[in-house]
Structure formats: C-alpha cells, structure tokens
C-alpha cells in the first residue's frame, strides 16, 4: 500500500486478500448437515411461494425469494411501525375457556394466541412486514413449522400501499419456518381485502385456504357479530376445533379464525357468552381472496425503462390510484387512501425487479401542484415535476421520481431522522403538509 494514498490498482489486489483472510474467520458447525436436512424437511416440496394458480386471487406479498421486487409496500410499512402510531388493537384472543375442544384429532394445528408485540411474529413484523394494527393473531404448530394468521387494518396505515389488493380491511397470513431454532426470513406472506359483515348477517366466512403450501391444516376466517364470543369448527365426525375471536379498535365487527386439519363438511359454530349458539355456517372448502387485477383500460404509462423492459402504469381504482409495474416483477400497488381525500399527496417506492439500479418513487399530488420534492434522511432532496393523470376527470396529478443509484447506507449515516418526506409545491409555494413515504427496499 502506497503511502501516497489508496488507488484502485492497489485495491484490486488488496481487496481479494482481505476477503480471503476474512472468509477464513467464518466457522461451520458439525451438525450443519443434520440441521439443514431437518430444515429442508419442513419446506413443502416444489416451491415456497404461494402458487397463484392454486389460490385464485391469493397473491404473494413477499417471500419472493428469487423475485427481486422485494415488496416496497412491505418495507414502507415497516417504517410505519417506527414512525406511525400503532393502533394497538386488542391484540390477541385465546380460545375462550370452556369452549369446545379438539377431540381425537391426529393433526397438530394448535390454535393459540400469539402476540404481535413480542415473540417471533413481532420480530417478523418489526423487521419486514406490514402489520401496524392487528386484532387477531393465531399461531399453529405443525411439527417444526409455525404459522401466524392476523388481521390488519390496512387502510389505517397511510404508508401501507397494498400490494395487488384493494385498500381496506386486510386479511394476511404469514408462514414462518422456525426449524433449527432460528427464524429465517418469512417465506410466505399474503394479504387480501376482507369484506365486512353484510347488513343483518351474524357471521361470515371470507377466507378458507390451506395455511401453508401443504394441503392441511386449513384456516378459515371472517367476521362475526359482536355478540359472538366463541367460534369453533365442527367436523362431520364430531371433532371440534376451537378458534379465536376478537374485536378490536377500528374493527367494525369481531374478527375470527379457526384452524382445522380438514374442513370438508365442517360447520362453523358461533356462540355467545352464555354458550348459546348464535350463528352457524357451512365451512367452504376453499375461498380465494379477491384481488384487484390490473385494469385493462382507463389509465396509462407514466414511466418506462427501455433497457430493462419495465414500465409503470397508473390507473384510477375505485377512487384510489393504482400503480402497476410491468415486466418480470409485475405487481400493483394501490393507494391506501382515496385520491380525492386527504392527504392529497401520497407516494410509494417501487422496485422494478431486473431493472436499473435506480429506485423509482411514484405518487399523486394535488391538482395545483407543479412539482414534488422528496427529502431523504440526510437532507438530500430530489425534485419531480408533476404530470397529468392519464385519465379524464382526475382530481390529482401524478409524479414519478427516479432516485439514481440509491445509496441508502450513505443517506442514513449520521442522520438523526429516518423520515423520507415528500412535499408538494405549486406556483405560490408549498401546498399542504409533507407526507412520510417510508423506505425503499435496501
């Protein structure tokens, strides 16, 4: 190493030597092979992703191990956990004492309360997931595999741009593999809109699907009238599997969920505090979560990257604004709030998959906004002009910002704030308050 400075030529020798030396410091465990085999045994054969074809409308939110879109929405929501008041719904709901019990079951789907504030789910949530408020959380233990089911109020979190799905109440499942005593990154996470209980209805079931890639157990979930205090799935042979039911701040009705190894012919029985049956429903074999497909018309392209064959299209979606990324990593994000409401400024990071190293932020701004500026934690600002929405009668303008060669570590270093703020400007200055955008994928 020359004393006159560090040069790239010397670095190309120095770096390999340092890497080689450092590599030797990582030891391996003698039981690594056994642990790996045990771990592999917990993975459903084929793929760990939820197959879209099998679960119609049930779309992978994250867990795209080889698909580098990495869920901007999920990351954004993580920031929400850090910067937005957590709603703190009633948390978990254990099966009620005295409720029906599982009898003679051979499978091991054990419904149990789980916490979103501590334990593995909290770890997952704080690190990567979208949860900002949950009313119900169920845990299953099936061998070394554990799964969690939770509800969230997606619409309550302005940073959570739902992936693929409509805004509103969200039903989400997360499957976490916890073999070998350590938690790997989540492998399956799905979310979808959860319709409210219809007028005059005492209970509804809106979700029925395998909890994991394996056929069993199945999870059933939905809403029930507030008078219901317990829920259970009663199989034709009489086996009964208690579930969990809970209300929570912000939830219009009680949310419930049941896990059972086989729901064929099962009935869902809801009881009140006195043990009286208040509702009974046939358990459907499987229900997909309805998803919002990319509209075929009514919008248009707002950004394209010719070298990577990726484009971003914008559409109005039931009063919201949806952005769809085309190409290999195709997916859509829909604004959590209606575009006509407040705030009239919103944005979300997009990951363009195999595209350029740049990160793209898209959003909408008030009709009289001429530009939007995005401020990173270190004070760096990127301006973006607003564009007319590619549909008639729009109450907002759109904006696209390409952040070149995003160096998140550089921007975080020494920063006191973790906020990424977007502000809209018109001819006479700033319009309204700035809004938090959250973080892009790292």
Partner 1 sequence: MTSARTGPPELATGALRSGTGVADLFRASYPGMVRLAGLLGADDPEDIAQEAFARLMQKAPPPDDPAPYLRTIVCNLTRNRHRHLRMARAKQGTAGSLAAQVAVPSSEQTAILREDHAEVIAALATLPPRRREAIVLRYWLDLSEREIAQTMGVPRGTVKSHVSRGLAALARALEVTA
Restricting to residues 398-427, name those near partner 1 by CB under 8 A. 405-410, 412-418
The site string for partner 1 over 345-384 (x = CB under 8 A, - otherwise) reads: --------xx-xx---------------------------
Distance between CA atoms of 55 and 291, rounded to whole angstroms? 11
Question: Measured from the CB atom, is 277 or 378 closer to partner 1?
Answer: 378
Span interacting with partner 1, options 38-46, 151-159, 265-273, 378-386, rule CB under 8 A: 38-46
Distance between CA atoms of 166 and 333, rounded to whole angstroms? 9
**28 is a contact residue toward partner 1 (CB under 8 A):** yes
The CB-of-255 to partner 1 minimum distance in angstroms stands at: 25
Question: Measured from the CB atom, is 69 or 384 closer to partner 1?
Answer: 69
Q: Which residues are CB-contacts of 248 (< 8 A; sequence separation ≥ 6)?
A: 89, 90, 91, 133, 134, 135, 136, 151, 255
CA distances to 72, 88, 171, 375 from 81, rounded to whole Å, are: 15, 11, 18, 20
Instruction: State whether residue 131 is helix, strand or coil.
Output: coil
**51 is a contact residue toward partner 1 (CB under 8 A):** no
The CB-of-357 to partner 1 minimum distance in angstroms stands at: 5
Question: Measured from the CB atom, is 37 or 56 closer to partner 1?
Answer: 37
**264 is a contact residue toward partner 1 (CB under 8 A):** no
Q: Binding to partner 1 (CB under 8 A): which residues in 236-255?
A: none
**22 is a contact residue toward partner 1 (CB under 8 A):** yes
Q: Binding to partner 1 (CB under 8 A): which residues in 171-210?
A: 180, 182, 184-185
**54 is a contact residue toward partner 1 (CB under 8 A):** no
**30 is a contact residue toward partner 1 (CB under 8 A):** no
**430 is a contact residue toward partner 1 (CB under 8 A):** no
**308 is a contact residue toward partner 1 (CB under 8 A):** yes
Sign of CA dihedral 276, 282, 285, 287: negative
**15 is a contact residue toward partner 1 (CB under 8 A):** yes
Element (H, E) at 309: none
Q: Which residues are CB-contacts of 365 (< 8 A; sequence separation ≥ 6)?
A: 344, 345, 372, 386, 396, 397, 398, 399, 424, 431
**66 is a contact residue toward partner 1 (CB under 8 A):** yes
The CB-of-157 to partner 1 minimum distance in angstroms stands at: 14
The site string for partner 1 over 69-88 (x = CB under 8 A, - otherwise) reads: -x----x--xx-xx------
Question: Which string of b and e fits 276-290 if b means at least 16 CB within 10 Å?
Answer: eebbebebbebbbbb
Element (H, E) at 122: helix 119-127
**115 is a contact residue toward partner 1 (CB under 8 A):** no
Question: Measured from the CB atom, is 27 or 199 closer to partner 1?
Answer: 27
Question: From the list 29, 106, 297, 428, which residue makes contact with partner 1 (rule: CB under 8 A)?
Answer: 29
Question: Measured from the CB atom, is 182 or 428 closer to partner 1?
Answer: 182
CA distances to 36, 110, 128, 176 from 181, rounded to whole Å, are: 12, 19, 19, 12
Distance between CA atoms of 317 and 290, rounded to whole angstroms? 15
**12 is a contact residue toward partner 1 (CB under 8 A):** yes
Question: Measured from the CB atom, is 277 or 410 closer to partner 1?
Answer: 410
Which of 2, 4, 129, 17 shows the shortest CA–CA distance to 76? Answer: 129
**307 is a contact residue toward partner 1 (CB under 8 A):** yes
Instruction: State whether residue 434 is helix, strand or coil.
Output: strand
Question: Measured from the CB atom, is 318 or 418 closer to partner 1?
Answer: 418
Question: Measured from the CB atom, is 227 or 304 closer to partner 1?
Answer: 304
Q: Tell whether omega for the bond before 112 is within 30 degrees of 0, i.e. cis.
A: no
Work out the end-to-end distance of the chain between its first and last CA atoms, rounded to an integer number of angstroms.
33
């Amino acid at each position: 190493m020359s004393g006159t400075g560090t040069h790239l030529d010397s670095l190309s020798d120095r770096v390999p030597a340092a890497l080689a030396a450092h590599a030797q410091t990582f030891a391996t465990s003698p039981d690594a092979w056994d642990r790996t085999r045990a771990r592999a045994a917990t993975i459903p054969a084929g793929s760990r992703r939820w197959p879209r074809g099998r679960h119609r409308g049930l779309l992978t939110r994250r867990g795209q191990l080889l698909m580098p879109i990495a869920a901007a929405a999920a990351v954004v929501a993580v920031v929400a956990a850090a910067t937005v008041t957590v709603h703190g719904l009633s948390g978990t709901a254990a099966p009620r004492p005295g409720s029906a019990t599982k009898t003679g079951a051979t499978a091991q789907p054990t419904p149990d309360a789980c916490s979103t504030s501590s334990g593995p789910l909290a770890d997952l949530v704080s690190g990567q997931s979208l949860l900002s408020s949950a009313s119900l959380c169920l845990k299953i233990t099936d061998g070394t595999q554990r799964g969690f089911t939770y509800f969230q109020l997606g619409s309550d979190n302005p940073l959570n741009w739902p992936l693929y799905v409509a805004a509103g109440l969200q039903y989400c499942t997360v499957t976490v593999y916890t073999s070998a005593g350590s938690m790997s990154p989540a492998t399956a996470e799905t979310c979808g809109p959860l319709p409210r209980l219809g007028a005059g209805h005492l209970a509804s079931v809106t979700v029925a699907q395998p909890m994991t890639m394996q056929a069993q157990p199945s999870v059933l979930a939905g809403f029930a009238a507030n008078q219901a205090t317990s829920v259970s799935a009663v199989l034709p042979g009489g086996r009964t599997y208690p579930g969990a039911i809970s209300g929570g701040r912000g939830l219009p009705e009680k949310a419930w969920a049941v896990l059972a190894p086989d729901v064929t012919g099962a009935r869902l029985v809801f009881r009140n505090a006195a043990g009286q049956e208040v509702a009974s429903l046939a358990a459907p074999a499987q229900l997909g979560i309805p998803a919002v497909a990319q509209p075929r018309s009514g919008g248009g392209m707002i950004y394209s990257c010719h070298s990577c064959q990726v484009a971003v299209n914008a559409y109005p979606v039931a009063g919201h604004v949806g952005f769809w990324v085309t190409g290999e990593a195709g997916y859509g994000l829909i604004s959590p709030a209606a575009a006509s409401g407040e705030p009239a400024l919103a944005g979300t990071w997009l990951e363009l998959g195999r595209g350029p190293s740049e990160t793209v932020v898209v959003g909408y701004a008030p009709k009289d906004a001429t530009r939007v500026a995005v401020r990173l934690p270190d004070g760096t600002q990127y301006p973006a002009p607003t564009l007319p929405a590619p549909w008639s009668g729009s109450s907002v303008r759109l904006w696209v910002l390409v952040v070149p060669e995003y160096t998140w570590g550089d921007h975080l270093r020494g920063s006191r704030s973790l906020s990424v703020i977007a502000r809209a400007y018109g001819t006479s200055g700033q319009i309204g308050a700035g809004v938090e955008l959250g973080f892009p994928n790292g």
